[in-house]
Amino acid sequence: MNNDKILELKKIATDIRIGAIEAVHSAKSGHPGGALSCADILACLYFSELKIDPENPENPERDRFVLSKGHSCPALYSAMALRGYFDLEELKKFRHLGSVVQGHPDMKAIRGIDMSAGSLGQGFSCACGMALAGKIDKKDYRVYSIIGDGESQEGQIWEAIMFAAHYKLDNLCLIIDNNGLQIDGKVKDVMNTMPYASKLKAFGWNVISIDGHSIEQILDALSTAKTVKGKPTVIVAKTIKGKGVSFMEDQAGWHGKAPNDDEYAQAINELTEYKNSL
């Protein structure tokens, strides 16, 4: 991947963060912390990796993506708007009555969302089903899913992990947004689910551990995942909750809280200054 493309993706990731902050501030509610932590991953997926077409979102040959940690949808909506699925102005209607950009992804409201999500653990199970369907139908599409590390406390996640390995779903790529925090504090204190690498390897998965804010490492991991045969791949992405906004970074309190007007202005200013510095 050339330097110009990497720079472009860094700028897109920053725009995704700006859109997410716009959405949550407009709604006066939402989940900014986990949205900001997965923005770089979404930038790489939507603007480099996924075989998708906003003009034909139901194309049966398309790649599938499921944001299993559905509460982080401000970042997903921002990425999709930037990619051309709907107008960016819709972000200002986030969580408003009658808006298509609801508090959790709704596949019936927005064309291009492959699975509704919000009940933690369920989205990834659906992604496994999509991958198995692709195998049965002899399709070439790939399936990607992001889960949160707090979400990995759900037993259903581990059932799905077993399922994917058993059926050798090498067309499936799981990405763990490992920011270490959840609504009640540190994941390791609430219910420790780490170390992921050794656990997933024992479950029969190919494991890749990366810095989830390094565009280069994300792209390399996604590229490598496509070459692995006979087993699914998990990318354990070490991230920072609230990444890009100084007062939100690594603070569990920003899991599900909207910024006030002054905090919003500071967040947008910091992100804009960072983008301009690239």
Residue-wise pLDDT tens for the chain (278 aa)?
Answer: 689 999 999 999 999 999 999 999 999 999 999 999 999 999 999 999 999 999 999 999 999 999 999 999 999 999 999 999 999 999 999 999 999 999 999 999 999 999 999 899 999 999 999 999 999 999 999 999 999 999 999 999 999 999 999 999 999 999 999 999 999 999 999 999 999 999 999 999 999 999 999 999 999 999 999 999 999 999 999 999 999 999 999 999 999 999 999 999 999 999 999 999 99
Cα dihedral: 154, 184, 264, 242 (round 10): -60
**Residue 137 pLDDT:** 98
Half-sphere exposure of 99 (CA within 13 A, CB side): 21
Nearest to 90 by CA among 29, 33, 14, 23: 23
Nearest to 139 by CA among 165, 116, 169: 169
**Residue 46 pLDDT:** 98
**Residue 1 pLDDT:** 66
- Alpha-carbon gap, residue 244 to 212, rounded angstroms: 13
3-class DSSP state for residue 266? helix
**Residue 163 pLDDT:** 98
Backbone angles phi, psi at 15, to 5 degrees: -65, -35
Q: Examine residue 195 and say whether the peptide bond preceding it is cis (omega within 30 degrees of 0).
A: yes
**Residue 115 pLDDT:** 98
CB-based burial, 106-116: b 16+ in 10 Å, e otherwise: beeebebbbbb
Domains annotated for the chain, with CATH where assigned, are 3-277 (3.40.50.970)
